[in-house]
Structure 1
Amino acid sequence: MSAKLNIFITGATGYIGGSVVSCLLKHPQAASFEITALVRSAEKAEKLHTLGIKTVLGSYTDKDLGFLTKASANADVVFAIADSDVLPAAHAILGGLKIRHEKTGKAPILIHTSGLAIIMDDARGLHGDHKVYSDLESEALNAIAESVLHRDVDISIVAADKAGYVKAYLITPGTVFGYPSGPLVDLNIQNKHSIQLPYIIKPSIARKQGAYIGKGLNTWSAVDVNDTADLFIIIFDAAISNSPAAGHGTEGYYFAENFEYTGLEAAKTISEKLFELGLASSPEPNAFTQDELDKNFGSFWTLLSTNSRAKGDRGRALGWAPKFGKEEFLANVKEEVAFYANELKA
């Protein structure tokens, strides 16, 4: 690689992506990095420039994705942390990395964000009885059907690794919670809130009572946003040092998780906070009615009531040690209830 390590990152001002950028800026080797970030607005671009970050304007939803190919063709490392389900964007990035490989003779690195929905079932909140998958179970994971959420993109990326023109690592978080910090938060350009939790919190506020789906027995693995960013950096460090310990491609799934929670536990915590705020008549949750599910979520409600249980053994073998557990998660749920209650009131 050149004296400067060229890094291209998508989703750079997002919840996880912004946290990864902050980690890269304080990395011991940061002086040797040349970071380029994909952003949607010129205003965000200007603020990133103050941190020494170059920018490309655009998004995964643009009709012409040539800018993704061009930026990836100039990168030694790509962090793909924007929408994990846009196959044309993934193909554009892989096309650029193939050009990079042909030009340099070296396989560039792709660290892609997938998600634990790849192992979810159809529990509909009625049970928590589901296989706990380890990310070391490569054969089982690579056999998951292409029709499963995230898998069409994952399969294309693993195939590129198999073809030899990229080294691909797929970081696969469960429910991500917590509050990020760092220069992008200070500049007010990073999303600071969980993507998944508001799906349940906002309608619970509207109905003035915490709610679960079915019996609330569905179980998900969860991980703090800062712990997730740490996993990205551990894999990045292993990849750029060519560590043989870091599997990639078919051996490249890295689950990000540190504990499990149920839909019922989340609903009870939401109800307790609503009661504390004087917005609910009881601290006890109850079930969403079918009418509420249809109104608030459409057919998406079945995805919110799945089991998705995982063990992140591969990252831990590289030294990843997540710090934040269920106590911090439940406290964060309460903080998010207060935040969205205030936002919705305004």
Structure 2
Amino acid sequence: MASTSKRTIFFTGATGYVGGTVLTRLIDHPTFANSEITLLIRPSKKDKISALHSLGLNTVLGSYNDLDILEEQASKADIVFSVADADNLAATGQQPLLIHTWKGVLVDDAKGLYPTDVIYDDLNPDQIDALAITQLAQEYKENYVKAYIILPPTIYALAKTRFVGLGLQNPRSLQIPQLIRAGLLKGQGGMVGKGENVWPNVHIDDIADLYIIVYENALSGKAGHGREGFYFGENGEHKLYDLSKVVAQELYNVGRGKSPEPAPFTEEDYKRPENFGLEFLGTNARCLARRARALGWKPKYTTEDAFKSIKPEVEYAIQSGNY
């Protein structure tokens, strides 16, 4: 651990959808006054640096593939927030606290044709151990670092933080905007296969709260780590069909869809470069966030809120032209 008067934090993903929302909460947190936060900023985002410095944040220029920079910064930090690419942060050789994001580990290959009865429980470490893991995850389990792994599902709603207002943060998620973009390009709301697959969901504000709950409990030593440090972030679940139906209805309402009923995407849709990864929306991933709730996480938003978030997303996509 670094031995300085202030707690040192190295943070990746600061200008992203989730990262920017979490970082906003860190700035507002009571521990910020006694913290020194350094952000990894990609060269393409270097125009944001002066604004970040004005908020009392430090920056280092580099990418997630610059292992020498990552290792140097992580080795100097008491805490590392990895809220970006889930497989790129190298181990430090010491034992700092690592709050890491890991996506897509529960998915199957349903192609939207069926749901699944398999529900992963973050209070069941034996079940978590059965998941395919990377070498990095094995190092976490062997306690090279005290690792706290947060596994978000479908995150929804436009982010509304000071970072968004300052032009420092991407305000949009991935899955729902991708579904909307594919529908706009097709001229009709669509779905993968029959849309029978199931995913959990969580509001952007609720998942950001989870990072802070884990952070606070990690500092006090109350949060499980390593084998017992996996935290799902769900507060409800949906069938892809139900999500796709709302998208199709909203596109129909604004004259950008032929029918309020979603139509299966075609091979032509999947081959469009703009729709890269669209088939991923047809996977299943079900989980229970019991460990997170046991720490005191109290998410407020439900699946109904996920459906309500679609209309503003459609309006944003059309008005900005950013499909």
CA distance change for structure 1 residues 296 and 268 in 2, over 3 Å: closer, same or farther? farther
Q: What does 1:122-201 align with in structure 2 at a 5 Å threshold?
A: 122-145=109-132, 151-152=133-134, 155-162=135-142, 164-201=143-180
Equivalent position amino acid for 2:99 in 1: I
CA distance change for structure 1 residues 76 and 142 in 2, over 3 Å: closer, same or farther? same
Is the CA contact 1:158–1:250 (under 8 Å) kept in the aligned structure 2? Answer: no
Equivalent position amino acid for 2:136 in 1: S
Is the CA contact 2:121–2:127 (under 8 Å) kept in the aligned structure 1? Answer: no
For residue 165 of structure 1, report the CA deviation from its aligned partner.
3.2
For residue 231 of structure 1, report the CA deviation from its aligned partner.
0.5
For residue 300 of structure 1, report the CA deviation from its aligned partner.
3.6
Which of 36, 39, 47 is residue 37 of structure 1 equivalent to?
A: 39
Q: What does 1:1-346 align with in structure 2 at a 5 Å threshold?
A: 2-40=4-42, 41-61=45-65, 64-85=66-87, 89-91=88-90, 94-95=91-92, 98=93, 101=94, 107-115=95-103, 117-145=104-132, 151-152=133-134, 155-162=135-142, 164-243=143-222, 246-295=223-272, 300-344=277-321
For residue 266 of structure 1, report the CA deviation from its aligned partner.
1.5
Gaps of 5+ in 1: 102-106, 146-150
Gaps of 5+ in 2: none
Is the CA contact 1:273–1:338 (under 8 Å) kept in the aligned structure 2? Answer: no
For residue 109 of structure 1, report the CA deviation from its aligned partner.
0.1
CA distance in 2, matches of 1:123, 1:179: 28
Equivalent position SS for 2:89: helix
Equivalent position amino acid for 1:177 in 2: Y
CA distance change for structure 1 residues 58 and 315 in 2, over 3 Å: closer, same or farther? same
CA distance in 2, matches of 1:11, 1:322: 23
CA distance in 2, matches of 1:264, 1:58: 40
For residue 193 of structure 1, report the CA deviation from its aligned partner.
0.3
Equivalent position SS for 1:29: helix
Is the CA contact 1:109–1:239 (under 8 Å) kept in the aligned structure 2? Answer: yes
Equivalent position SS for 2:81: strand
Equivalent position SS for 1:140: helix
For residue 342 of structure 1, report the CA deviation from its aligned partner.
2.7
Equivalent position amino acid for 1:159 in 2: E
CA distance in 2, matches of 1:84, 1:119: 14
Could you list the runs of 4 or more consecutive aligned residues of structure 1 that deviate by over 6 angstroms after TM superposition?
none
Equivalent position SS for 1:36: strand
CA RMSD of aligned residues (A): 1.9
CA distance in 2, matches of 1:296, 1:38: 29
For residue 47 of structure 1, report the CA deviation from its aligned partner.
0.8
CA distance in 1, matches of 2:37, 2:178: 33
For normalisation by structure 2, the TM-score amounts to: 0.93
CA distance change for structure 1 residues 169 and 35 in 2, over 3 Å: closer, same or farther? same
CA distance in 2, matches of 1:228, 1:345: 24
Is the CA contact 2:178–2:275 (under 8 Å) kept in the aligned structure 1? Answer: no
CA distance in 2, matches of 1:345, 1:176: 19
CA distance in 2, matches of 1:301, 1:12: 25
For normalisation by structure 1, the TM-score amounts to: 0.87
Who is 1:104 aligned against?
none
CA distance change for structure 1 residues 139 and 261 in 2, over 3 Å: closer, same or farther? same
Deviations 1:4-36 (A, max 9, x none): 110110001111111111111111222111111
CA distance in 2, matches of 1:139, 1:276: 47
For residue 130 of structure 1, report the CA deviation from its aligned partner.
3.0
Farther-moved stretch of structure 1 (293-302 vs 308-317):
293-302
CA distance in 1, matches of 2:203, 2:275: 28
Q: Identity across aligned pairs (percent)? A: 39
Count the aligned residue pairs: 319
CA distance in 2, matches of 1:47, 1:67: 22
For residue 185 of structure 1, report the CA deviation from its aligned partner.
1.7
Equivalent position amino acid for 2:105 in 1: I
